[in-house]
Amino acid sequence: MSAVPDLRRAFHDLEAWLEKSPEGTTGEIARGVHAMTPRPRPRHAAAEGALWAELRSRYGRTDGSAPPEWYFALEAELRHEPSFSRLVPDVAGWRRSTTGWPDPDVTPVELMPEWVAEVLSPSTSAFDRGHKSGAYGAMGISWLWLLDPDRLTVEVFENVRGQMVLRSTWNDTQAIVTEPFAATPIPVRSLF
In contact, 154 and 144? CB cutoff 8 Å = no
Residue 17 has what pLDDT?
Answer: 78
Q: What's the pLDDT at 1?
A: 47
Phi, psi of 105 (to 5 degrees): -105, 5
Neighbouring CB atoms inside 10 A of 108's CB total: 14
pLDDT of residue 55: 95
Output the pLDDT for position 7: 77
pTM: 0.90
Strand, coil or helix: what is 123?
coil
Residues of the chain with pLDDT under 50: 1
The dotted CATH code for 3-191 is 3.90.1570.10
Residue 96 has a pLDDT of 93
Q: Give pLDDT, residue 174.
A: 97
Q: How many CA atoms lie within 13 A of 84 on its CB side?
A: 16
pLDDT for residue 110: 97
What secondary structure letter does DSSP report for 189?
G
CA 113 from centroid of its chain's CA atoms: 8
